[in-house]
Amino acid sequence: MRLLKKCIPVLLLVLSLFTATAAAISNADTVRVFKKVCEDPAFLPQLYSAVPLYEELGVTNASVNAKFKETIHTVLTIAEAEKANGSLIESNLKSRLKTITINTAASMEAVYIALCTDAFSEETVASLLDGNIPLEFEPLYNAIASEAYIILGFGKDREPTHVFDDLEHHLWAEKAIAYLFDKDILNGVSDFSFMPAANVTREQFAKMMCVAFNIEASAEKPVFSDVRETDWFYPYVTTMASRKLILGIGDGMFGSGRNITRQDMAVLMFRIGEMLGVMDQSSLRTSGFEDDRYIASYAKTAVVTLKELGIINGNELNCFNPTMTATRAEAAQMLYNCYQYVNK
| Whole-number pLDDT of residue 160 | 63
| Whole-number pLDDT of residue 222 | 83
What is the secondary structure of 188-234 as a DSSP string?
Answer: -SSSS---TTSB-BHHHHHHHHHHHTT----S-----TT--TTSTTH
| Whole-number pLDDT of residue 101 | 86
Cβ atoms within 10 Å of 176's Cβ, excluding its own: 23
| Whole-number pLDDT of residue 118 | 64
| Whole-number pLDDT of residue 159 | 63
| Whole-number pLDDT of residue 3 | 40
Give tens-digit pLDDT for 229-260.
Answer: 999 999 999 999 999 999 889 999 999 999 99
Q: What is the mean pLDDT of each run of 10 residues along the chain (344 residues)?
A: 39 36 71 86 74 67 82 91 90 89 73 62 76 81 86 69 85 92 88 93 95 88 91 94 91 95 96 95 93 96 96 94 95 96 90
Q: How far apart are CA 325 and CA 201, in angstroms?
A: 9
Please answer whether residues 278 and 300 qualify as being in contact, where contact means their C-beta atoms are separated by less than 8 angstroms.
no
Which residues, in sequence order, are bridge partners of residue 259?
Answer: 201
Nearest Cα residue to 266 out of 274, 255, 276: 274
| Whole-number pLDDT of residue 154 | 79
48-to-63, 122, 136 alpha-carbon distances in Å: 11, 18, 14
Q: Report the helix count and the strand count for the chain, using DSSP H and E.
A: 15, 0
Give tens-digit pLDDT for 24-37.
Answer: 788 888 988 998 88
